[in-house]
Amino acid sequence: MTIYNGIKEVDLTEEELANFYSGSLKVDALRNQYVLFKLNGEVVDKYRYDGSKFIKVKPKFIESQILGRIKSRNRGQDLAFDLLDTEIPLLSISGNAGSGKTFLSTAHALQEVQRGKYERIVIIRNDVTVANITPLGALPGDVTQKLRESVAYIGDIITDFMFDNMLQSNKINLAYLGTLRSRSISNAYILCNESQNLDVELVKMIVSRVGEGSRLVFDFDCTQIDKKVFEKNNGMVALNESLKGNALFGAVELNEVERSAIAKLASLIN
């Protein structure tokens, strides 16, 4: 499945790299695309093109009272930290299981809500059962209680106590896709998790719900699609391919597993 990942690699000679630094070498890139400059096959520098100039990717961190200070662990995360730190309102972060795409977007949302830039975090997820797993059936409770189980990963990140506390204080809202139409979500940091399980119409609906002062971040892994319908009609492929180069859109891909040494073994099983 081919999908735009927001990253371009460019091999240069030492002379060409020097010419780029001096401004005499033109490098083509889409707006908000990352360019990795390589010398002798090794990445030596990272830039983001903002539509008029190349901006060097510098070390950044994410910090909140709940999670403390978080630093990047690899080159892909360097780009994700940079992208999250921009004012671009619609983001796409893809990556393998354990690469940090969900953790980093959640951590950044917490930071921005704590700083007062957004009023709350809104979490959206298509509650699709993992492929080949028997559904549990109807769950007890109101809509929030039913949806909470599908986004239990938030508790893994910030603890269940903090998750429940932020739900009760309205700092985190859980949005049900089935009643999302006609809503306008303003002044919120919107996180759409496991977005590989969305078709084109669902992605269009989610994007169209973003109101003034909000940001929307999709995170996904197209190797973990759980229904065949999303293999043929995938919203993230359509989103990334349709909006690449748009001033309001940015994408980045993470490909190094950072969850644990054991988690890295998953890619060896076949």
Residue 2 in domain: no
pLDDT value at 1 more than 90:
no
How far is 145 from 31, CA to CA, in rounded Å?
A: 41
Residue 76: predicted pLDDT: 96
pLDDT tens digits along 98-146: 999 999 999 999 999 999 999 999 999 997 765 555 555 555 556 677 7
Residue 193 in domain: yes
Residue 265: predicted pLDDT: 82
pLDDT tens digits along 35-85: 999 999 999 999 999 999 999 999 999 999 999 999 999 999 999 999 999
Q: What is the CATH number of the domain that holds 244?
A: 3.40.50.300
* Predicted model pTM: 0.91
Pick from 120, 51, 46: which is nearest to 87 by CA?
51
In the Cβ-directed half-sphere of 107, how many Cα atoms lie within 13 Å? 22
How far is 35 from 126, CA to CA, in rounded Å?
A: 32
How far is 173 from 74, CA to CA, in rounded Å?
A: 31
Residue 157 in domain: yes
Q: State CA 92 to chain mean position distance.
A: 5
Which residue in the block uniquely carries the two structure tokens 């993992």? 130
pLDDT value at 261 more than 90:
no
Percent with pLDDT over 90 in the chain: 80
Other C-beta atoms closer than 10 Å to the C-beta of 216 total 20
Residues in the chain: 270
How far is 7 from 79, CA to CA, in rounded Å?
A: 9
Residue 38: predicted pLDDT: 97
Identify the domain containing residue 212 by its residue range: 7-268
Pick from 235, 213, 241, 251: which is nearest to 84 by CA?
251
**What distances in angstroms separate CA 12 from CA 26, 39, 58, one per listed residue?**
12, 6, 21
94 Cβ neighbours under 8 A, 6+ residues apart:
3, 5, 101, 219, 220, 221, 222, 236, 251, 252, 253, 254
**What distances in angstroms separate CA 245 from CA 181, 240, 241, 242, one per listed residue?**
27, 9, 9, 9
| Domain count along the chain | 1
pLDDT value at 205 more than 80:
yes
Please say whether the beta carbons of 86 and 255 come within 8 A.
no
Please say whether the beta carbons of 74 and 93 come within 8 A.
no
Beta strands in the chain (DSSP E): 7-12, 34-39, 42-49, 54-56, 61-64, 68-71, 90-95, 120-124, 172-175, 188-192, 215-220, 249-254
Please say whether the beta carbons of 70 and 33 come within 8 A.
no
Residue 65 in domain: yes
User: Mean of the per-residue pLDDT values for the chain?
Assistant: 92
Residue 132: predicted pLDDT: 55
> SS3 of 156, please?
helix
Residue 135: predicted pLDDT: 58
